[in-house]
Amino acid sequence: MARKKEVSAEQTQRNIIETAERLFMTHGYRAISTRRIAEECGITQPALYHHFPNKQAIYLEVVRSIMIQTEEAMAHVLQDHADSKDRIRQITYFMIMNHQGDMTQMFHDLQYEIDEEHRDTIQEWWMRSYFNPVMQTLTEGIAKGDILSIPSAPPMELTFFVLEMMKSFLPPSKQEHEARRSFADKKSKMLVDILFDGIRKK
């Protein structure tokens, strides 16, 4: 039967995932010990193993949580904005606002620290949450005639490129909310300005 305790298991698990997200995404998988996570959650290290089978499972749940949030946000952007440039700017804005630390760290961990058996699942999540919405925006833009079909950059490669541009803007550490808002606003504009019109003087 379900319990009603001061701190429910659900709350503890959410606490663990949120704490682990902050730590893993800033320092990387290897650099964060299970003791560190437990300490910052206010519990002891073996207590983690009541909620998750091992360290990797915590990491995977963190990644899953991030991807789900992203997928929802991306869907909203595509719903609320029709213009290609607006869409790219809004997606960039979301990523700067919500992805602390560098995401590159996450991709490195997924490639080198996480068991191969989970790669396919994660790649599927990533396609749904990150890749497809950006690719859709670009191909629709090309179809509508907003966006050039560049010979040296076919749609898939262009998508990777745009995602990498976005990643490169992520701030290294957590800022206070207002500073981050203004940073995200400035950088998302800069990205679309360069991406759409380039730096060449005509």
Partner DNA sequence: GAGTTAATTTATCAATTGATAAGTTATAAA
Partner DNA sequence: TTTATAACTTATCAATTGATAAATTAACTC
Residue number with CB closer to DNA (22 or 181): 22
Q: Is 47 a binder of DNA (CB under 7 A)?
A: yes
Indicate which of DNA, its own copies, none lies near residue 82 (CB less than 5 to 8 Å, by partner kind).
none
How far, in Å, are 16, 43, 71 from residue 4 at the CA level? Answer: 19, 19, 32
Q: Which of 86, 140, 153, 183 binds its own copies (CB under 8 A)?
A: 153
User: Nearest approach, Cβ of 30 to its own copies (angstroms)?
Assistant: 5
How would you class 32 by CB atoms within 10 Å of its CB: exposed for 0-12, middle for 13-18, buried for 19 or more? buried
Residue number with CB closer to DNA (41 or 191): 41
What gap in Å lies between CA 134 and CA 59, rounded to an integer? 25
Largest Cα span, the chain:
71
- Residues 74 to 133: which contact its own copies by CB under 8 A? 85, 102, 104-105, 108, 111-113
How far, in Å, are 51, 89, 153, 168, 175 from residue 86 at the CA level? Answer: 42, 5, 21, 19, 25
| Residue 87: half-sphere exposure toward Cβ, Cα within 13 Å | 24
Indicate which of DNA, its own copies, none lies near residue 6 (CB less than 5 to 8 Å, by partner kind).
DNA
Q: Is 36 a binder of DNA (CB under 7 A)?
A: yes
Residue pair 171/104 in contact (Cβ under 8 Å)? The answer is no
Residues in contact with DNA by the rule CB under 7 A: 1-9, 12, 32-36, 43-47, 49-51, 53-56
Residues in contact with its own copies by the rule CB under 8 A: 26-28, 30-31, 85, 102, 104-105, 108, 111-113, 145-148, 150, 152-153, 157-158, 161, 164-165, 167-169, 172, 186, 189-190, 193-201
